[in-house]
Amino acid sequence: MAKCNDEDGKEDKPCELYPAVAMYGPNNVFDLKKGEVKLWCRCGLSKKQPWCDGSHVGTGIKPMKWTVDKQQRLYQLCACKYTKSPPYCDATHTNLPCDVIERQEICSNKGKHELKDFTKKLCTGCGWVPDF
- What tens digit of pLDDT does each residue of 67-121 get? 999 999 999 999 999 999 999 999 999 999 999 999 999 998 888 887 766 667 8
Residue 46 lies in a domain: yes
The whole domain housing 22 covers: 3-113
Residue 118 lies in a domain: no
CA distance 63 to 8: 9
Number of domains in the chain: 1
Residue 125 lies in a domain: no
Residue 56 lies in a domain: yes
Q: How do strand 26-30 and strand 37-40 relate by DSSP bridges?
A: unpaired
Average pLDDT, the chain: 88
Residue 123 lies in a domain: no
CA dist list (Å): 16 to 37, 59, 68: 27, 12, 28
What value does the mean pLDDT take over residues 52-74?
A: 95
Q: State the pLDDT at residue 115.
A: 75
pTM of the shown model:
0.84
CA distance 13 to 53: 23
Residue 108 lies in a domain: yes
Residue 130 lies in a domain: no
Residue 120 lies in a domain: no
CA distance 71 to 75: 10
CA distance 66 to 54: 16
